[in-house]
Amino acid sequence: MRIQESAENYLETILVLHKRQGQVRSIDIATELSFSKPSVSVAMKNLRSNGYIEVNKDGYITLLPKGLEIAEKIYERHTLLTGWLTALGVAQDVAAEDACRIEHVISAETFEALKQHVLSLGAPQA
């Protein structure tokens, strides 16, 4: 199933924030992405109605299994691509920005081939 790039970005951000601070609320996402609270609220409603996240009564967001699967896939792509580009000599901030674009459009087949190549070289991951 293919979801929009923006939804992938939100799910990845929830995962990253959860790793960093344990609990995630909409305001954390808005702050992290520099988005307005209303925009994040609409996105969270859509993610919730499509079964990607759950929001408890206190406003804390949890990734549901299918949301976690997508978030982990995008995060893996991001970290591997950032590390690979950095190893090629690209500045860290540029590598992270470019990886963020590439991670959404690269096919699963191409990513797996690139991943195997990078891992065979022992290149660092971000």
Start-end ranges of CATH 1.10.10.10 in the chain?
5-69
Start-end ranges of CATH 1.10.60 in the chain?
76-121
7-31 confidence digits (pLDDT tens): 999 999 999 999 999 999 999 999 9
CA distance linking residue 20 with residue 10, whole number of Å:
15
Domain 5-69 has CATH 1.10.510.10: no
Per-residue pLDDT for 1 more than 50? no
Fold of 76-121: Diphtheria Toxin Repressor; domain 2 (1.10.60)
44-65 confidence digits (pLDDT tens): 999 999 999 999 999 999 999 9
